[in-house]
Amino acid sequence: GGGCCSSPEAAAWAAAATRDALLLARPLVAHTAATVAAGQEGMACAEETSLAVAVLACSFASKELSGLCRPSAEPSDLELMAFLLDLTAHPLRRLALVTQDVWLEVADLPLAARAPPLQHGLQERLVEALVGQCTYPQGFNGDWDDCDAPGVDEFVFKELRGDSPGVAGVADALSNAFFTLKSAYLDLLLPKLHSSQQQGQGQGGHPGGGQGAWWEAEAALFACTSVARDVTKFIQQPLVMVAGVHER
């Protein structure tokens, strides 16, 4: 038989210790987020450390996912999953790219195999985070050379939106979220469209007149078009059922 180091108890202890060690880095990552959002310079070391933490956290979560998400998950397990959401929403958008595979793996778990906070509520927060990351920087004029928004890199931004060859970006995660949320997915996006329309009509009564009138609406439309095929299938399902009844 194996030694004590290979026992289930030892493995569980090691997983818990790793989880807790990763959570100790959460304040550092939060501080980095605040400094990046404020446009402070000289944070290269902290940013690279946050990126390394993100890679480690995602690798660990991928390995221990069923335990972290189980219905009887401990508070610290749920806190780690919340930490992954923090990484996804981090203004240093490279971190959001790192988390994408984990969210695809979470979506593969049946809802019944997940703790309640990791079901619909998680998907709603994930959609909000991904839409935020796929929103053009405020004041963006179409030329990335003129864009100095903190934490935003043209190539990372294009990868997130799937505009780079061979990169799916966030589309798969959004599709999985729609599969779980159905019409609630669209309910999350409609206020962004409505709000942007109101802002756009705030000056002179014509679109584009309000500050920030277009980029939030564009991001919401991007999130809608990313699941357009899924929405079509969802709408067609009851129609197919009705057609089948009439055929009988």
The larger pLDDT score, comparing residue 196 to residue 85, is at 85
Share of the chain above pLDDT 70, in %: 85
pLDDT-derived band at 29 (thresholds 50, 70, 90) equals very high
Angle, alpha carbons 75-126-226 (nearest 5°): 160
Q: For residue 97, what are its two tokens?
A: 């790219």
* Sequence-distant (≥ 6) Cβ neighbours of residue 209 within 8 angstroms: 200, 201, 202, 203
pTM: predicted TM-score of the whole model, two decimal places: 0.86
pLDDT(122) > 60: yes
Position 201 scores a pLDDT of: 56
Q: Could you report the per-residue pLDDT of 62-100, keeping only the tens digit for each?
A: 999 999 999 999 999 999 999 999 999 999 999 999 999
What's the rounded Cα separation, in Å, for the pair 99 and 61? 10
Q: For residue 219, what are its two tokens?
A: 């991001």
Contact 82, 106 (CB under 8 A): no
pLDDT(121) > 80: yes
What's the rounded Cα separation, in Å, for the pair 195 and 202? 11
Q: For residue 4, what are its two tokens?
A: 């004590």
Position 89 scores a pLDDT of: 97
Position 207 scores a pLDDT of: 41
Position 226 scores a pLDDT of: 94
